[in-house]
Amino acid sequence: MDTQQIENITLVQPGPFGDLFVCAPIAKYLSEKFSCKIYWPAREKFIPTLKYFTDYVQPVVIPDTNDHSDWLRSDVMYIYKHIKELIPNAKVLVDLADRGNYIQQSSKENFEQYKYRASRVPFEEKNRLSFRRNTDKEKELEDIVLTHKEFALVHNIDSYSSRAALPNIELPIIQIREIPGFNIPDWYSVITKAKQIYCVESSIHQFIDGLIGSGSITQDRYLLRRPIVKEGIRLTMSPYWKLDYIGKDSIVQG
């Protein structure tokens, strides 16, 4: 990509939530490298989360589509077909959804590595998530959930509503849960106050993973095995998480 010719980039990754946090550092890096605007098409339900990245991203709403049984592939197909309507001055598409024609994931890499290779962004950027904080929301959430000064923060329910087993945790537990009116980034202040973190691989885990580079997160953070994932396998790289409960010798699935 020629830095003298790029006016804007369209990031093709219309969800799900975890991938938004994986790819936001890519958007920021490309925005700064090429001094250009980053357009990010997604369904309406993802726009409130993308708005936390508006310092370097312009969210673009697309309709819910059903052109394919795989909703993500369907949305990617829609973006390619309607790009000139969605973004009349679109110049460069960077397809990270592995549902289009940009570059294919190899059998030797997982989805995170693929996205950073495909975008030519250093993988260490993944842990340097930048977002626009809403400190009022963070304070409101603290008032709702904080009951102890020292606590373990837990998120052990995956996107299939399966609950991962918890180890013996001696600290009082605060569960990350969906609370109407709040978004995942609004948990930032609570996350930074946690003495320990236990988390399944999820959108919450990807958000926290993005914060590790800030140095504000406890080092006592543990990955938990999702019931749907076979023992000995994990889905993410997660080099800065303790693997005691997911398997220290677990293999990252491509």
Give the distance from CA 100 to its chain's centroid: 20
Give the Cα separation of 41 and 109 in Å (integer): 26
At 96, give phi and psi (nearest 5°).
-110, 0
Q: What is the DSSP letter of 107?
A: T
Q: In this predicted model, what pLDDT tens digit does every residue of 161-180 receive, in sequence order?
A: 899 999 999 999 999 999 99
Q: What's the average model confidence in pLDDT over 90-97? A: 93
Distance between terminal CA atoms of the chain? 27
Q: What mean pLDDT comes out for the span 203-210?
A: 98
Q: How far apart are CA 180 and CA 37, in angstroms?
A: 31
* pLDDT given at position 11: 97
Q: How many CA atoms lie within 13 A of 243 on its CB side?
A: 16
Integer angstrom CA distances of residue 179 from 46, 85, 121, 182, 215: 16, 35, 34, 6, 27
CB-based contact 75:14 (threshold 8 Å): yes
| Residue 155: pLDDT over 90 | yes
CA atoms lying within 13 Å on the CB side of residue 128 = 10
